[in-house]
Amino acid sequence: VKIGSGRDPLSAVPDSSLTDAKFVWVEGIDESLYCGEIRRLGDITGVRPARIAGYWLLKKGAVWDGPKAKPGERTVLHLHGGAFYIGSANPSDITANFTRGLLEHSQSLDRVLAIDYRLTASAPNPPANPFPAALLDSLAGYLYLVQDAGFAPENITIAGDSAGGNLAIALVRHLVENPFPSLPPPGRILTVSGWFDLSMSRVGPGSSHLSNSASDIFGTLKPGRLFGEYGMTSLRGPLDFEVVKTNRYLSPSSLDCEPMKGKSLFEGFPETYVATGGAERALDESTALVERMKADGVKVVEDFPPDAMHDFVVFKWHEPERTEALIRMSAWLDRAQ
C-alpha cells in the first residue's frame, strides 16, 4: 500500500495465493450504530460507513469450513498498526506476525479476523478517510463476528497494535457508551504499543518520549514527533487540534482528555491486557492508560518488557521479548473468564 494513499476498500482483491487465510467482504454498519460522539464528529468530517475487506488468519493445520462459529469458540478481532495511514490486514503485512504468534501459542484459538480499515491521508496526497472512518470499519468487523459469524461477544477479544491499539479502545468505548442490545461489548481487549495520545501531550523532560529516543525504532525522529505529524493531521481532517487533545476517542491518555459528562473515563470496560516495550518512546502513554483504567475499576494486566521497542511482537528477530510476550498473552487468552 502506498503511504498516504487512503486506499478505497472496494479496490481490494481476494488473494488466490493465500495459504493460511481466507478473504471475506465485510459490509458497512447500519446507520443506527453510527451514533453518539463519533457521529457528532463524523458529521463534521463527512465520514460514512463503507464496505471493507477482511482476512481470516488460520492456525496451522486448521480446516476452513466457513465463517460460522463453533459452540463456545473464541476468536480475536485484529486492528493493525501503521499510524492510521500505512499497513494492511493482508496476511502478507508484517503486523500479521502478531496474530500468527497468538495462533501458534494459544490453545483456544483456531482463527483470528483482521479488518482492512480505511487508511487516512492528507496533503500532499488527496485528503481521505479522516476520523472516524477507521473506527467505523473496526465496528463493522465486530458486527460481522457477532451477527454474521455468530461469535458470542464474551468470546471475542479486540486486539490492536500501535494505531490499532487506539482503535481497540475507541471501539469498546463506543459500545460501552452507546448500549446496543444486539451488540454488547467484547469480553476482552489486548493492546500492544498502543498510540493513546495523538496530541503527544506527555512529551517533555523526563518523559519516555525523550529518555527512550536512543532505544526505540523511532529514535531518529525529532522530539515531539512520535509517529510524525502526518498520521495525526490526516486523521483529524477538518477537526480542530483541540479535539485531538481533549477527546476520549482520539487521545485517552492525553493530559487534557475529558471523560463523558457524568461518567468516569473507563467505566464499564472489560478486562484489558496492555503490553508496551519498556524501551519505546510511547511507554508513558500505556502507563497512563493502565493507571486510568485501574482507577476506574477495570481489571488490567500490564506487560512492559524492559528491552522491547515499539510494536516488538511484529518483528520476528526481536527475541526473546517477542516470543515470551506472545506466550504470556496466549495464556491470558486461553484462561477461562
Residue with the three cell numbers 488473494 = 15
Helices (H) and strands (E) in the chain, counts: 9, 8
> Is residue 170 helix, strand or coil?
helix
Domains and CATH numbers, the chain: 15-334 (3.40.50.1820)
Nearest to 252 by CA among 160, 119, 115: 160
Find the angle CA(190)-CA(270)-CA(294) to the nearest 5 degrees. Answer: 90
40: left (phi over 0), alpha (psi -120 to 50) or beta: alpha
pLDDT tens series, the chain, 337 aa: 333 334 444 344 455 667 889 999 999 999 999 999 999 999 999 999 999 999 999 999 998 999 999 999 999 999 999 999 999 999 999 999 999 999 999 999 999 999 999 999 999 999 999 999 999 999 999 999 999 999 999 999 999 999 999 999 999 999 999 999 999 999 999 999 999 999 887 776 666 566 556 656 765 545 444 456 899 999 999 999 999 999 999 999 999 999 888 889 999 999 999 999 888 878 889 999 999 999 999 999 999 999 988 899 999 999 999 999 999 999 999 996 6
Q: DSSP for 11-71, please give it.
A: G----TT-SSEEEEEEPPPPGGGS-HHHHHHHHHHT-----EEEEEEEPTTPPP--SPPPT
Residues known to be catalytic: 162
The CA dihedral of 295, 301, 306, 308, to the nearest 10 degrees, is: -120
Residue type, 206: G
Alpha helices in the chain (DSSP H): 36-45, 96-105, 133-143, 163-177, 208-211, 229-236, 241-246, 283-295, 321-334
d(CA 123, CA 205): 32
Q: Can you give the pLDDT at residue 223?
A: 45
Q: Can you give the pLDDT at residue 333?
A: 97
Q: Which three cell numbers stand for residue 307?
A: 528491552
Q: Can you give the pLDDT at residue 316?
A: 95
Q: Which three cell numbers stand for residue 65?
A: 469450513
